[in-house]
Amino acid sequence: MDQTGASDAAFGKMPSSRGWTGWLDNNFEKIFLVAGLLSIIFFITFQTVYRYLVTYFSGSVGAAVWTEELSRYIFIYISYLALSVAVKKRSSIRVDILYDRLPKRCQDASWIVVEICFLTLTLTVCCMGWTQIERLLKYPQHTTALGIPYIIPYLVLPLGFGLMSLRLLQGLYAQVRLCGIKDSLAAVACTALLAIPMVVTDYIEPLPVLFGYFAVLCLLGVPIAISLGLSTLATVICADTLPIEYLAQTSFTSIDNFPIMAIPFFIAAGVFMGAGGLSHRLLSLADEMLGGLYGGMALTTVATCMFFGAISGSGPATVAAIGSLTIPAMIERGYDKLFAGALVAAAGALGVMIPPSNPFVVYGVSAQVSIGDLFIGGIMPGLLIGFVLMVYSFFYSRARNWRGEKRHRSAATVGRAMWNAKWALMVPVIVLGGIYGGFMTPTEAAAVAAFYGLVVGLFVYRELNLRSMLNCCVESCETSAIIIVLMAMATLFGNIMTIEDVPGSIARAILGFTSSKFAVLLLINILLLIVGVFMEALAAIVILTPILLPVVVGVGVSPLHFGIIMVVNLAIGFVTPPVGVNLFVASGVSHAKIEDLARTALPMIGLMILVLLLITYVPEVPLFFLGGAK
């Protein structure tokens, strides 16, 4: 599986007069992404400050409601514009199991299949989006707060998906030139074979089409989000389940959602703080506290991942930010390279358990569960897994006589390190204190955290400059857009499943097989562990939540408890091959083979599974900070 962000420089050097066309072609979307992301961060931060300061001192009650509405529409625009950037760079969440085993020539040809499939969906949504514009021209409607014509927000469908189509055509042209006519025609013929069932038959039952196309497209390496959208389109054509215009309308309405906006904000907060010098200061603090023990640098690594996870909300981001510092340091101090890489990969999974957490946001939106409660529920599993990894590291290191760095440590040195890291340590306080103090929603807390990270990086730590800030904005938008579009396409896919009563049928089948709560949870855990091996966590959440939630509710498990089980379960998938993204990042940093890292990580994965079983069958443990079972 491949999931990448905009890790390279977002903006190139300013061109000469003859190079402006190429520069604009490379950076057209990025200009709007930077402006859009900074705007919505400022708008939502202003909304929060306005509500709790201006209205308090003036004695009047009110809120700047226009900021939320405007921010939602800007968010939709930058999400789809950012996807066209991801298209150019082939950043995606996809299954690469078959692709990785193909010869180079077939791999190159397979991209033609992928891009034709992608283009089919983008052109469909673009055309259907234009029909929405025509309808709004004929029957004008206006937004509630700003009173602007709805045609303006809905223009993102033909504009955004049209731009994606243009980028796909550019990529397709380049790929055809690379592959040559013969291989390109073979790839086009393979793609045409996929359309045969839709062309030669009048009607096919919806479920075989929906799941059949989804499985085939994923196997071919089509991004999971696009596979969801295309399988829904095929079902609409073959079974006439819904009007085809529904695809465009849902592509807009499914992400016109204020809670979802927490995702780009949390990602931006982590990126700003990471680029602004946060990880160095957190590492220094953890080293002062734990570095003198056996395996001191290993313990420091786990502790720093826990600290950084409380800011980034992302597993791979945690591995990249902390691993790039700690893996070379551990190797330099005599630690085994494989142990160093495997430990960072395992500890990086804490980034999606300890709040804030993007998977918890996605689950909360999908299952209509309080995101704030999910955040609190993730604290105990994160602490437990961090603790068992530390204990394992201590005894593993002691057996090999890997001691920490010998130097003077005292309460004074710890205090100085804590003081140096004070601005970084304030982020979890702002986020969790704001949410649970009743001052901010999770989305507002995320926006304030992003604003805070930007200010600290620019003016306090001063390790962010204008260019790095622009690059951080593009990276945040691109990373979040991949997630957002996945959720939009999963909504389409999920609506077909709901119409066909797939969740209900599966729930009745499982409960008919066994009504034992213990057995049902064990089966679901096994399923999720297997899914986590082959599918990225966010994709698994949006696809499986509507299927499995009725099952667990049927045996008396609360949606809140199940969300914690699911996220912890899939977090383990970050460390399991063949698609463990944490392993890929750790492999790149440590320059070790993934299979060797995976083998070294097996005992750590076993300990994580033990913690998973504990939180599964003793709900009071994950719900401890929420007052026990809920």
Residue 87 has pLDDT above 50, yes or no: yes
Q: From CA 630, how far away is CA 558, in angstroms rounded?
A: 7
**Are 580 and 598 contacting, i.e. CB atoms less than 8 angstroms apart?**
yes
Confidence of residue 551 (pLDDT cuts 50, 70, 90): confident
Residue 8: inside a domain: no
> 563-584 in b/e burial notation, b at 16+ Cβ within 10 A?
bbbbbbbbbbbbbbebbbbbbb
76 CB-side CA count, 13 A: 25
DSSP line for 344-402: HHHHHGGGGTSSS-HHHHHHHHHHT--HHHHHHHHHHHHHHHHHHHHHHHHHHHHHTT-
Residue 159 has pLDDT above 90, yes or no: yes
**Segment 441-491, tens digit of pLDDT:** 888 888 998 898 898 888 888 888 888 888 889 988 888 888 788 878 888
CA distances to 84, 123, 184 from 189, in Å:
26, 20, 9
**Are 105 and 215 contacting, i.e. CB atoms less than 8 angstroms apart?**
no
Give mean pLDDT, residues 262-269: 83
Give mean pLDDT, residues 529-548: 79
Task: Report how far Cα 373 is from the mean position of its chain's Cα atoms.
Answer: 19
Residues 344, 385 within the same domain: yes
108 CB-side CA count, 13 A: 16
| Domain edge (last residue) among 201, 234, 253 | 253
Residues 196, 345 within the same domain: no
Contacts of 569 (CB under 8 A, 6+ apart): 525, 528, 529, 532, 612
| Domain edge (last residue) among 213, 228, 253 | 253
What local confidence, expressed as pLDDT, does residue 13 receive?
57
**Segment 290-338, tens digit of pLDDT:** 766 777 788 888 888 887 777 666 666 677 767 777 788 788 778 888 8
Task: Give the Cβ contact number of residue 325 at 10 Å.
Answer: 18
Q: From CA 501, how far away is CA 508, in angstroms rounded?
A: 11
Torsion of CA 156, 157, 160, 162, to 10 degrees: -140
Residues 231, 285 within the same domain: no
Structure-token match 């299954």, residue found = 95
Residue 472: inside a domain: no
Residues 382, 238 within the same domain: no
| Domain edge (last residue) among 231, 253, 275 | 253
Instruction: Cis check for the bond before 264: say yes or no (omega within 30 of 0).
Output: no
Tally of domains in the chain: 2
**Segment 368-387, tens digit of pLDDT:** 898 889 988 988 999 999 99
**What is the reported pTM?**
0.81
Residues 413, 547 within the same domain: yes
Task: Give the Cβ contact number of residue 322 at 10 Å.
Answer: 31
